[in-house]
Structure 1
Amino acid sequence: MLFLKRPLLLATAFALVIPTFSAQADDDMPEHFEGEPSRTLEEAFKNLGVYNKKLEKLLDGEMTPKKMGEIHILTYTLENALKRIEDDVEDLAETLEEVHKASERAEDDTVMDKGKIYLEESGKLIRE
């Protein structure tokens, strides 16, 4: 019986939340939510902090269909933030690999240039 309640709960959540958005919608509204963008690493960390707090608040207390709908919507922004962080960390790893390989070949200029880029970018990940 529990397996029947979950789809009903989700359907109810969306039925309660979606109309509040459709009242503001026009013909140009996308069919699905996109969330807030994370155009930079700094913006990704900001969105992560802000939306984690929102999620934490929604998880406090009893879960309701309205809360479930709100959580569904805010996860898009969190996913965007995490994707941006993941992409930037991948780029950072590639830059570090360039430093590593250049150091094996004693390529002073590449080590200096790419090393500085690596330090600048990796510094954005560190909260001191």
Structure 2
Amino acid sequence: MKQPITALLLAGLLATTAVQAEERTDHFEGETSATLEQAVSNFSATNRQLAELLAQPELEPSDLGTIHELTYTLENALEKINEEVADMAIALEEVHQGSETGDVELVRANGETYLGAAQTLVP
């Protein structure tokens, strides 16, 4: 029961991010996240930068500009993470179905796919 709910929540988050991206004029692209590994790295590093800026007692206009630019990288990373998590949910469902029907090959193939991505998110 948890997997469908998680997948629906993640799909909703992805859709919200996509709508927000379409509603504004992109004038800064941010760092791209072509792979899950790159997305997790960008997400982690950029969150650290954002936290440092937000920890300042006062935010200058230049800080707000930097934060604005950081959000593009974070949005790119989240978009890729959401795509990959959706794929993980599909692979995990295949593992689930294969385990019910005794399909060892389905379980192995999809289990390896799932674990490869999952271990990138949570080492």
Count how many residue pairs are aligned between Structure 1 and Structure 2: 98
Normalized per residue, the structure richer in helix is 2
Q: Higher relative contact order at CA 8 Å, sep ≥6: structure 1 or structure 2?
A: 2
Work out the CA distance in 1 between the residues paired with 2:117 and 2:44.
Answer: 20
In the alignment, what sits opposite 1:88? 84
In the alignment, what sits opposite 1:62? 58
Work out the CA distance in 1 between the residues paired with 2:68 and 2:53.
Answer: 11
Quote the offset at 1:31 in angstroms: 6.0
In the alignment, what sits opposite 1:109? 105
User: Of 85, 100, 106, which aligns to 2:96?
Assistant: 100
Give 3-state SS (helix, strand or coil) of 1:124's partner: helix
Structure number with larger C-alpha Rg = 1
Deviates more, 1:51-60 or 1:86-95: 51-60
* Structure 1: 4+ residue segments shifted above 3 A: none
* Alignment gaps of 5+ in structure 2: 1-24
User: Of 34, 48, 52, which aligns to 2:29?
Assistant: 34
**TM-score using structure 2 length:** 0.72
Identity of aligned residues (%): 46
Note the alpha carbon deviations across 1:28-62, whole angstroms, 9 max, x for none.
xx961111001111111111122112212221120
